[in-house]
Amino acid sequence: MKISILNKGLFDQKASAVALGFFKEDVKKKSFPSNWKKGLTSKIATVFSQKDFIGKSGEAYLLYPGDKAFPSRILLFGLGEKKNFSWEKYRRAVARMTKRLDATESSSITIALPGEKSWAEFNPLKAVREGAQSILLCRYSFNQYRGATKKKEPTVKPVHFSLVRKGNSSLLDKEIKKGIILGESTNLTRDLINHPSNYLTPTRLGQIASKCGDKKKLKTRVLGPKEIERLGMGGLMGVAKGSDEPARFIIMEYLPNKGLEKPLVFVGKGITFDTGGISIKPSPNMDQMKYDMSGGAAVVGAMAAISRLGIKRNVVGLIPTTENMPSGTAYKPGDVLKMYSGKTVEVLNTDAEGRLVLADALAYSLKYDPAGIVDLATLTGACVVALGEHAIGMMGNDEKILKAVEEAGNNTFERVWELPMWEEYQEQIKSSIADIQNIGGRGAGTITAGAFLKEFVEDKPWVHLDIAGTAWTDKEKPYHPKGASGVGVRLLTDLAANWKRNK
């Protein structure tokens, strides 16, 4: 996909379509950049005078100048009021402009970015990076499994960014490449989640993880059932007992500063299909349970992005992956499992399987003596009830890493909301016959799941992210199609990029 900086003047080229973003204040004042041609500004000013376009956020007006001196199509796009503008609104605006012009017969698109006089926080480097990322994300589609109804893929139109203040072109090109890598890595995660579970098995997830990212820098190992059993991962093997598909434990190591700093460790739940096991789920919407590996997919995407971007931080990704199926060999309510850490767990509900596989991976992460641990999982329906699809539930044991994750969430608009981790919640998971039990009762289901995981990280800085509500959407958004959102990739990558070294 070609995304580049326009080195010529905005109207000194033969673009067939140009998108021009306007704040409401600029429309009211009929304010235009000084380098725009007067013949064009007079045409646009007429539209402003007629109040056919007022600059409201998301508003669009397609203008056909009818003059060979100008592009054949000019999209006027509303950015709303300056005081309310943000980088997230900018991402959405670029996505909407791109999709609107992709729907026309234009052969190329030029997007004119607001200049420093129009937007006080304008940063050209960030603008092209976030814009490129948004274009990749908004153009995503998943049509691999259509047969007779498969539509012809539309021609991908090149996009150029035009800036009032260009800055160093080589730096701008680098930032565009960063945005493309983030977009491609998020779309990789979306693909993994959207694949049906008869294709995306634990085995295939391991194969894909082994091939992604910068293979010279990112070293991936995939352990099979015998190796997992030798490690004593009773949680992962216990859940895997009900499936004919063999479990896998994926270990992704990116260590550019090996021996010089403690790594960040990302752990992702990789349940490629979740029936609930013996505690079987209701039939409606069970097809969506292919997305129960969204945490693992996010870790794969983030590790791919981090290695391709060459971020100078040691990062390890761990993905325990299996299916949760009911069968004659499946683990049962009332069973007791011995975990990798040595702790024993009484299973009261086999549909609380994600925390069992995560617990083994979290305990395994301690061998790296990590500076911080972040796990991601579509863990509880209770989190969807509490926060809907707009926020990730966050819990943890260390203020510094909690703050760093919150900041990364705000930077990427993959926002988190912290839930309490009081001692009383730990009481709810005490077992009468084992060390702990895998559910804590009906109340505070999201928090008691976090309390369970806390038992396996000892005193290491740790954050748990419940992405059950944010990993999947049934409603199309500006740069999120229906289905898998790819949430977590950009958050984890931002966290790694801005993490302060802890030796």
DSSP element (H, E) containing 346 = strand 344-346
Task: Scan for tokens 């698109």, then name that residue.
Answer: 109
Question: What's the Cα-to-Cα distance from 204 to each of 47, 196, 272, 291, 322, rounded to whole Å?
Answer: 55, 12, 10, 15, 11
Catalytic residue among 82, 281, 343, 477: 281
> What's the alpha-carbon Rg for the chain, to the nearest Å?
25
Which one, of 193, 86, 94, 73, lies nearest residue 139 by Cα?
Answer: 94
Cα–Cα distance list, 360 to 148, 277, 408, 465 (Å): 44, 19, 26, 17
Catalytic residue among 92, 355, 454, 490: 355
- 89 counts as catalytic: no
Q: Which residue has the tokens 């409603």?
A: 475
Measured CA to CA, the distance from residue 401 to residue 388 in angstroms comes to 24
Q: Report which DSSP code applies to 333.
A: T
Compute CA 120 distance to the chain's CA centroid, rounded to the nearest angstrom: 28
**Residue at token pair 């940063």:** 123
Nearest to 74 by CA among 48, 44, 96: 44
| Residue 91 contacts residue 133 (beta carbons within 8 Å) | yes
Residues 6+ apart with CB under 8 A from 320: 233, 235, 236, 247, 249, 250, 267, 269, 270, 296, 357, 358, 360, 361
Q: What angle do CA 335, 338, 344 make, to 5 degrees?
A: 80
Angle at 179 between CA 97 and CA 377, to 5 degrees: 100
> Are 38 and 47 within 8 A, CB to CB?
no
Burial of 64 (0-12, 13-18, 19+ CB in 10 A): exposed
Tell me whether residue 355 is one of the annotated catalytic residues: yes
Q: Which two tokens stand for residue 169?
A: 């072109």
* Chain centre to alpha carbon of residue 188: 10
Q: How many residues can be counted in the chain? A: 503
Q: In sequence order, what are the beta bridge partners of 317?
A: 252, 266
For the annotated catalytic residues, the residue numbers are 281, 355
